[in-house]
Amino acid sequence: MKNFISRYQISLFFILAFIFSWFPWYTGMAVEVMPMGPSIAAFILVVIIGGKRGFVELVRPFGRWRAKLGLWGIAILGPATLYLIGLAVHLLLGGEAPPFIMLREELNLVPLYLVMVVLMPWNGPVGEEFGWTGFALPRLQGKYGPLVASLLIGSVWGIWHLPSFFAPQGVISALTDALGSGFIFLYTLGTMANYVFMTWLYNKSKASALIAGIVWHAAIDFWAPVLLSDSSLAAAREGTHLPTIAPELYLTVLAVQVVGAIILMIATKGRLGYSAQN
């Protein structure tokens, strides 16, 4: 059994990530468990295959914080830069600016929101990235190369969010209502573009899943509501308003992310900073 699991560990990881995430959502048992599915799947597999050593090998890259300051800057501000470029293009095309409620009216609460995004497992980065970046990325890029690994994980990452498209409330479901069922393909295109950047960061930071996984993912989740939507922390706490983002703005930002990822792929000739020593 152990040999079977070891041989098919990548396939089993994806299957278990979906099961552990989608089953609680489908049954209504614990919706907040969904984002933790990929990490749960990864920990189970590494313990079965490698025991304590496997556990340590999975966790170790999340403690790699020594990297060039520029890489930290890219991980923290990269998503914000892409969002702001997209916003600038949106305004040049005649679109309206978002209200920036969190920056104008709730600036004192923004640091607390950042802590919640980074540390709460049900918000995404911690719950997901031990799976996507800690487990799947090194195995897939070692076998198929960084570009294929990025596009594969990015596409699975997008499809994995499918329950959010049918949620009764939230930004994703609101965009689905506005753009139609085909929005899942647009959303997945965005996760694929994001994962190209994440793979490059992972390889350039000498396999720091902390920088490429936790920090970049947290920056995605943090800057989007702050810069692009009408999110309000006070309204969210009181349940009086559901955040939205203008569909036209979302599509413009998506186009910027995709173009940026393509430029990075061309500039690195598809290697995304990868070498056999990574």
Tens digits of residue pLDDT in 206-226 = 999 999 999 999 999 999 999
Which residues, given as ranges, of the chain have pLDDT below 70? 26-33, 121-122, 168-169, 238-241, 276-278
Compute the distance between CA of residue 206 and CA of residue 125 in angstroms, rounded to an integer. Answer: 19
Compute the distance between CA of residue 165 and CA of residue 159 in angstroms, rounded to an integer. Answer: 10
Tokens representing 265 are 């792929």
- Compute φ and ψ for 270, nearest 5 degrees: 80, 0
Predicted confidence at residue 278, as pLDDT, reads 58
Amino acid sitting at position 35: P
CA 210 remoteness from chain centre:
13
Compute the distance between CA of residue 154 and CA of residue 194 in angstroms, rounded to an integer. Answer: 7
Predicted confidence at residue 163, as pLDDT, reads 84
Compute the distance between CA of residue 176 and CA of residue 92 in angstroms, rounded to an integer. Answer: 25
Q: Which helix (H) or strand (E) holds 259?
A: helix 247-267
